[in-house]
Amino acid sequence: MASVGVVTRVLLGKNVVNRVAAANTGFVKFYSTGPAYENIKVEVVGAKKNVGLIQLNRPKALNALCGPLFVEVGQAVKDFETDDKIAAIVITGNEKAFAAGADIKEMQNNTFSGNTKKGFLQDIEDYISNCGKPVIAAVNGFALGGGCELAMLCDIIYAGEKAKFGQPEINLGTIPGIGGTQRLPRYVGKSKAMEIVLTGNFIDAHEAERMGLVSRVFPVDKLLEETIKLAERIGTHSPLIVKMAKAAVNQAYETTLKSGLQFEKAYFYGTFATEDRKEGMTAFVEKRPPNFKNE
């Protein structure tokens, strides 16, 4: 995904390295940085190198969500969140699958007591849900079960035109366990969510868009490019104000309208204590681009 002249984080064997490709020379310089990953690939992309890209990388298993993969995604999200150069995070898979569900072989012998004592896939939910930066899912292929739930954990979902979404856990004698029964009704309404969860049927990308599960649908080969463009567009704004806006929208899903309106007003008033609000309005009046400082 990296191009000549672009600095990206990639994987080389078991070492995460930074790759600097000098334009038109073919020269590549490597130096070690960050943690090693075995189930995901991590890159920094975008014209300003301000978009963190996490690619699920278990292609032989259609990116089935095993425990180690969840740990790695959680760590990568956490690392990008604490990196001041990163404006937004994109999570994707490959053209065949975003993630075709949880790893059933890994789950098969789980017990109620074991799940209760250890928790199950809780870290990934906490890391993504609590991330202050926007997290965008770029979904091609199958997003089923835990894969659909992982996409719904993100703030925005873009889909390739061949994407398939679903919660087929009912076919396995269980139910969604990473928010599928809770987030899906908030996206698509009770009746449609019941139909999806109780039948295990798949829905295609265009139906997902009509229902409000997906923001936009693109040709398969354009999906990641368009998703990165969205992340870059978000990155033109004040990171501080973006974080506040994200928190305000999330509040709408987690509280009453009255409480949400109070939260919004408090945050709106709060923006007037920031230098970026002052800069944004001053730049508008002066008819120039704003120079946000994240302050």
Report the catalytic residues: 102, 146, 149, 169
Give yes or no for a contact between 34 and 9, defined as CB atoms under 8 angstroms apart.
yes
Residues near 205 by Cβ (< 8 Å), separated by ≥ 6?
139, 159, 160, 161, 162, 163, 164, 165, 214, 217
What is the distance between the alpha carbons of residues 52 and 85, in angstroms, rounded to a whole number?
9
Residues near 23 by Cβ (< 8 Å), separated by ≥ 6?
4, 5
What is the distance between the alpha carbons of residues 9 and 75, in angstroms, rounded to a whole number?
15
What is the distance between the alpha carbons of residues 139 and 83, in angstroms, rounded to a whole number?
25
